[in-house]
């Protein structure tokens, strides 16, 4: 594998022996087609890493692969979460060990009440004791996210607007207190007000106990959630890493200068459709997509 | 208040009789039915004799395994059940089915063709509500009963009536014992549900209850009925029977109707329920099927009056080799009528579902909406579901949709829940529970909601029924 100097994984400055999340030479395929061609990434608690990239660069694929989606095959490389082999864990084990993915297109599940679901998720992560403090914590988080208590009686994401779905994702993240949170294009589909609420919710969680991987293709997100480190992902590779100034450069000049710079170093970068994102979009479960929609029952 | 329960014990000769003309006649004598009922019963016997037994090539019966039933082995009348004065005196098995009974003040328990307990709330009694054994109603409310009985589900099938054959409905007419008469006078709203339990405890005799429910004009009722049965002896003939319910909701009336079939897994039974709605009447009908080795459920709603609306919800959960054979009809006979149906089933192991649902928009039903959806989860590769939604439209300016789906549990849903820390088994359980929840939440009783949730939960874990 050819790795240009500019693609070296960023070594974070905490100096701790075991990084919270360590991704080494990760390769990911969907339906035997390789999308991620070797990624290195190290994220520690207390850090916010932004991953920027054009559509189709493999950002969502990286997110899904880390969260153990069965359709994404990791063909090479290793990932450690707090020193433990992440790739050997099922999705639920990853979650219980402190990894969280804030989905770009959260699934709607009719029939499962939000409140009941959150209580079960809390119990899975923290054990029976969490059920006792659940109500109090929930009330607190709902307030931060400007969400009404009535959400708890609604079905999971069912009939939620784009903004409501994203808020619900942040709510889950706030309750489950992950050590590493991956946010996949959380800014997409949000109006300005909802966007601010979501960003405030994330900022309220920032601190020494959590590391973020913020995936986005707009700088807007990063104006509200200031990253410590910025990585540019193009063609399934991290082609450049740096500080917040890198995001500003991308915002002003686009990806073309970076592409040219990388290609000048003799590194092959191909642009492609982002299969992962396409896959996620293929699965509408909302009632509005149901061809058998009725005035009440039939969409359920 | 306890009503009269003094049905005399059946004569000994009836106890060993098969399904014969003589037995049919003798039941009318034993129950002291009036002459017109006896004539009607005789018409039922004649129809049972003349209507050919459906076969594997009969329309609507092609997927029905009738070979498991041998009517020659079935006795006409069950062993007498003992009437009691209080719920606490009921047999343990019946009390377990009753639950706490907290949310329904009126309770009727029928067993082996007779009423063993009838308690009516003060509220219901004072407002003129009637809940009693159908045979008692023949004498106490002869005009009301005669005007309605057999008009929706006749003893002898009439040409043009909306059903497939009427064979087992005729059998019910010939041998019916027990069943309920429920009447809510015009303008009366009953706040607490009326709960009826039909417990069949005789493995040799058939069960043939026949009920008549009348909700008066602008009246309101929540009616919860449940069918349960004893297990057949190992290797013996299945417990067998055919139940009929005729339901009338008069102009402006509202009925919340929940029916639960929780027979033993060695019971083969037929349930035919037909509801007719007067002008601007509404019916919220939830049908839950849990037990039975073979269940044929015929659920039909006739939107007879203008502006009527009916919601029909169904839930079935199969395991082992259970077969559920559902036939539904949304019969729009008037303008501006709305029907909305949602049947949801889950089948495990080698269980099997057949669903045939028809929306019939008759001439004159302009401005009507008919919707129909049948969703089936197959939890094992060996389970099977055949879903046949049908539409027949004979007027303009109507809106109809129908659709069905058969497939495994949604992996996307399971994955999403797993990413929140739920182990796979828990995630799958939650998805199946959630699948049924839109049906369960329409049951008009918190007790029964919990009971159905628990039953579904037990079936998911493979320890149901």
User: Chain A within 8 Å of B462 (Cβ-Cβ)?
Assistant: no
Does residue B277 form part of some domain?
A: yes
Mean pLDDT of B123-150: 94
Would the CB atoms of A90 and B412 count as touching at under 8 Å?
no
Residue B163 DSSP code: S
Residue A16: how many other CB atoms lie within 10 Å: 10
In a domain, B422, yes or no: no
Would you place residue B7 in the very low, low, confident or very high pLDDT band (cuts 50, 70, 90)?
A: low
B407 Cβ under 8 Å from any chain A Cβ: no
Burial environment of residue B424 by CB neighbours within 10 A (0 to 12, 13 to 18, 19 or more): middle
Secondary structure letter of residue B353 according to DSSP: E
What is the distance between the alpha carbons of residues B348 and B350, in angstroms, rounded to a whole number? 6
Q: How confident is the model at residue B165, as a pLDDT?
A: 65
Interface ipTM above 0.95:
no
Q: How would you class B366 by CB atoms within 10 Å of its CB: exposed for 0-12, middle for 13-18, buried for 19 or more?
A: middle
d(CA B341, CA B285) in angstroms, rounded, equals 9
Model pLDDT, residue B100: 62
| Contact B403/A at CB under 8 A | yes
- Nearest CA to A219 out of A43, A104, A50, A47 is that of A50
Classify residue B450: in a domain, yes or no.
Answer: no
DSSP calls for B302-313: EE-STT-EEEEE
B357-410 per-position pLDDT tens digit: 999 999 999 999 999 999 999 999 999 999 999 999 999 999 999 999 999 999
Q: Please report the DSSP string for A99-120 in residue order.
A: EEEE-SSPPPEEEEEHHHHHHH
Q: Check whether A167 has a pLDDT greater than 70.
A: yes
The answer to whether B421 contacts A95, with C-beta atoms less than 8 Å apart, is yes
Which positions ≥6 away from A125 have C-beta within 8 Å? A95, A96, A176, A177, B421
Asked if A125 has any chain B CB less than 8 Å from its own CB, the reply is yes
Query: Mind telling me how many Å the CA of A53 is from chain B's nearest CA?
Result: 24
For the stretch B340-357, pLDDT in tens is 999 999 999 999 999 999
How many secondary structure helices (H) and strands (E) does chain A include?
Answer: 10, 12
Cα B207 to Cα B463: distance, rounded to the nearest angstrom: 26
Chain B residue with Cα closest to A175:
B420
Q: What does B218-258 look like in DSSP terms, one character per residue?
A: T-EEEEEEEEEEPPPPTTSPPEEEEEEEEEEE-TT-EEEEE
Query: Quick one: closest CA in A to B403, which residue?
Result: A292
Domain count, chain B: 1
Residues A121, B422 contacting (CB under 8 angstroms): yes
Determine, for residues B434 and A155 on separate chains, whether the beta-carbon distance falls below 8 Å.
yes
List the single residue in A with minimal CA-CA distance to B344: A300
Check residue A291 and give its pLDDT. 35
Chain B residue with CA closest to A127: the answer is B421
The answer on pLDDT for B2 being more than 80 is no
Interface of A with B in 186-245 (CB under 8 A): none
In this predicted structure, what is the pLDDT of residue A278? 39
**How much is the pLDDT for A280?**
37
Domain span at B400: 12-408
Residue carrying the six token digits 């309605």: B148
Q: Which residue has the tokens 């169904």?
A: B314
Q: Cα dist. B108→A11, A245, B94, B182 in Å?
A: 75, 77, 12, 10
CB of B418 less than 8 A from some CB of A: yes
A213 HSE (CA, 13 A, CB side): 30
Distance CA B90, CA B9 (A): 18
**Per the CB < 8 Å rule, is B418 touching A90?**
yes
**A68 vs B: CB within 8 A:** yes
Q: Could you tell me which CATH number the domain at A5-284 has? A: 3.40.50.300
Q: Residue B86 has which token pair?
A: 């209080």
Q: What is the mean pLDDT of residues B304-328?
A: 97
Residue carrying structure tokens 């997110």? A63
* pLDDT at B463 > cutoff 80: no
Which residues in chain B are contacts of A296 at CB distance < 8 A?
311, 340
Q: Closest Cα partner for B338 from B394, B393, B280, B253?
A: B280
Cα distances from B237 to residues B53, B71, B72, B267, in angstroms, run 18, 10, 10, 9
> Regarding beta strands B220-229 and B254-262, do their DSSP bridges make them parallel or antiparallel, or are they unpaired?
parallel
Best mutation target, B343, B416, B435, B460, to test chain A (most A CBs within 10 A)? B416
The answer to whether the beta carbons of residues B188 and B219 sit under 8 Å apart is: yes
By Cβ distance, the residue of A68, A121, A299 closest to B422 is A121
Q: What percent of chain A has pLDDT over 90?
A: 64
B278, containing H or E segment: none
Q: Name the helix (H) or strand (E) containing B94.
A: helix B92-98
- Residue B1 in any domain: the answer is no
Q: How far is CA B168 from the centre of its chain?
A: 14
With respect to residue B457, please indicate whether it lies within any of the assigned structural domains. no
Task: Verify whether the Cβ–Cβ distance A120 to B338 is below 8 Å.
Answer: no
Choose from B421, B425, B436, B460 for mutation: most chain A CBs within 10 A: B421
The answer to whether residues A138 and A172 touch, using CB atoms and an 8 Å cutoff, is no
In angstroms, the CA A122 to CA B310 distance is 40
B161 in any annotated domain: yes
What are the chain A neighbours of B372 within 8 Å (beta carbons)? 298
- Asked whether A203 and A224 are in contact (CB, 8 A), the reply is yes
Taking an 8 Å cut-off on Cβ atoms, the answer to whether B311 and A112 are in contact is no
Tell me if B432 is assigned to some domain.
no
Decide if B427 touches A, using CB distance below 8 A. yes
Q: Judge whether B451 lies within some domain.
A: no
Reported as a single tens digit per residue, the pLDDT across A223-271 is 889 999 999 999 999 999 999 999 999 989 989 899 888 888 887 777 6
Decide: B339 and B332 in contact? Cβ < 8 Å. Answer: yes
Cα–Cα nearest to B254, from B319, B316, B320, B307? B307
The token pair at A243 is 């500080």
């Amino acid at each position: 594998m050819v790795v240009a100097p500019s693609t070296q994984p960023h070594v974070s400055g905490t100096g701790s022996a075991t990084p919270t999340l360590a991704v080494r030479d990760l390769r990911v395929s969907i339906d035997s087609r390789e999308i991620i061609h070797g990624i290195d990434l190290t994220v520690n608690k207390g850090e916010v890493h932004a991953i920027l990239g054009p559509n189709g660069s493999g950002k969502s694929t990286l997110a899904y692969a880390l969260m153990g989606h069965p359709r994404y095959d990791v063909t090479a490389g290793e990932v450690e979460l707090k020193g433990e082999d992440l790739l050997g864990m099922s999705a639920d084990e990853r979650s219980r060990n402190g990894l969280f993915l804030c989905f770009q297109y959260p699934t709607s599940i009719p029939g499962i009440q939000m409140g009941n679901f959150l209580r079960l998720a809390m119990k899975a992560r923290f054990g029976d004791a969490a059920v006792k403090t659940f109500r109090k914590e929930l009330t607190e988080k709902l307030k931060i996210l400007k969400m009404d208590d009535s959400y708890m009686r609604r079905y999971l994401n069912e009939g939620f607007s784009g903004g409501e779905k994203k808020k619900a994702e942040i709510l889950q993240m706030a309750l489950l207190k992950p050590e590493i949170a991956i946010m996949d294009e959380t800014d997409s589909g949000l109006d300005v007000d909802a966007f601010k609420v979501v960003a405030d919710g994330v900022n309220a969680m920032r601190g020494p106990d959590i590391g973020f991987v913020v995936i986005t293709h707009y700088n807007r997100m990063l104006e509200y959630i200031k990253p410590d480190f910025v990585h540019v992902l193009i063609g399934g590779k991290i082609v450049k890493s740096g500080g917040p100034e890198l995001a500003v450069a991308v915002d002003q000049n686009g990806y073309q200068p970076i592409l040219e710079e990388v290609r000048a170093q003799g590194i092959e970068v191909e642009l492609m459709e982002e299969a992962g994102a396409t896959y996620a979009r293929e699965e509408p479960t909302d009632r509005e997509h149901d061809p058998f929609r009725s005035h009440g029952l039939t969409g359920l | 208040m306890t009503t009269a329960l003094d049905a005399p014990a059946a004569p000994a000769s009836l106890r060993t009789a098969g399904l014969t003309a003589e037995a049919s006649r003798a039941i009318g004598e034993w129950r002291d039915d009036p002459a017109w009922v006896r004539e009607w019963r005789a018409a039922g016997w004649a129809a049972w004799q003349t209507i050919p037994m459906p076969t594997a090539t009969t329309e609507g019966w092609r997927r029905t395994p009738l070979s498991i039933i041998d009517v020659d082995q079935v006795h006409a009348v069950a062993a007498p059940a003992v009437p009691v004065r209080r719920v606490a005196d009921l047999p343990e098995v019946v009390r377990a089915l009753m639950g706490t009974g907290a949310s329904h003040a009126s309770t009727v328990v029928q067993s082996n063709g007779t009423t063993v307990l009838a308690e009516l709330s003060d509220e219901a009694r004072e407002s003129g509500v009637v809940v009693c054994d159908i045979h008692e109603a023949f004498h106490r409310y002869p005009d009301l009963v005669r005007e309605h009985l057999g008009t929706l589900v006749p003893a002898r099938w009439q040409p043009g009536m909306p059903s497939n054959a009427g064979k087992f409905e005729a059998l019910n007419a010939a041998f019916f014992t027990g069943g309920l008469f429920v009447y809510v006078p015009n303008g009366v709203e009953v706040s607490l549900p009326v709960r009826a339990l039909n417990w069949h405890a005789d493995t040799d005799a058939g069960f043939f209850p026949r009920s008549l429910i009348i909700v008066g004009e602008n009246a309101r009722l929540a009616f919860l009925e449940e069918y349960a049965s004893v297990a057949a002896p190992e290797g013996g003939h299945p417990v067998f029977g055919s139940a009929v319910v005729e339901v009338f909701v008069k102009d402006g009336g509202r009925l919340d109707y929940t029916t639960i079939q929780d027979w033993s897994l060695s019971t083969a039974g037929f349930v035919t329920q037909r509801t007719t709605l007067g002008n601007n009447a509404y019916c919220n009908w939830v049908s839950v099927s849990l037990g039975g080795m073979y269940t044929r459920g015929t659920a039909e709603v006739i939107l007879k009056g203008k502006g009527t609306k009916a919601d029909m919800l169904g839930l079935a959960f199969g395991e082992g080799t259970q077969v559920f054979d559902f036939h539904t009809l949304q019969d729009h006979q008037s303008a501006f009528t709305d029907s909305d149906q949602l049947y949801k089933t889950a089948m495990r192991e080698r269980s099997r579902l057949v669903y045939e649902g028809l929306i019939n928009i008759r001439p004159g039903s302009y401005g009507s909406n008919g919707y129909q959806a049948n969703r089936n989860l197959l939890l094992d590769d060996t389970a099977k579901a055949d879903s046949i939604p049908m539409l027949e439209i004979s007027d303009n300016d109507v809106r109809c949709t129908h659709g069905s789906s058969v497939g495994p549990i949604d992996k996307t849903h399971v994955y999403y829940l797993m990413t929140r820390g739920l182990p796979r088994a828990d995630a799958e359980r939650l998805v199946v529970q959630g699948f049924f929840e839109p049906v369960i939440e329409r049951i008009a009783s918190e007790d029964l909601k919990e009971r159905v949730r628990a039953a579904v939960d037990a079936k998911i874990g493979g320890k149901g029924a």
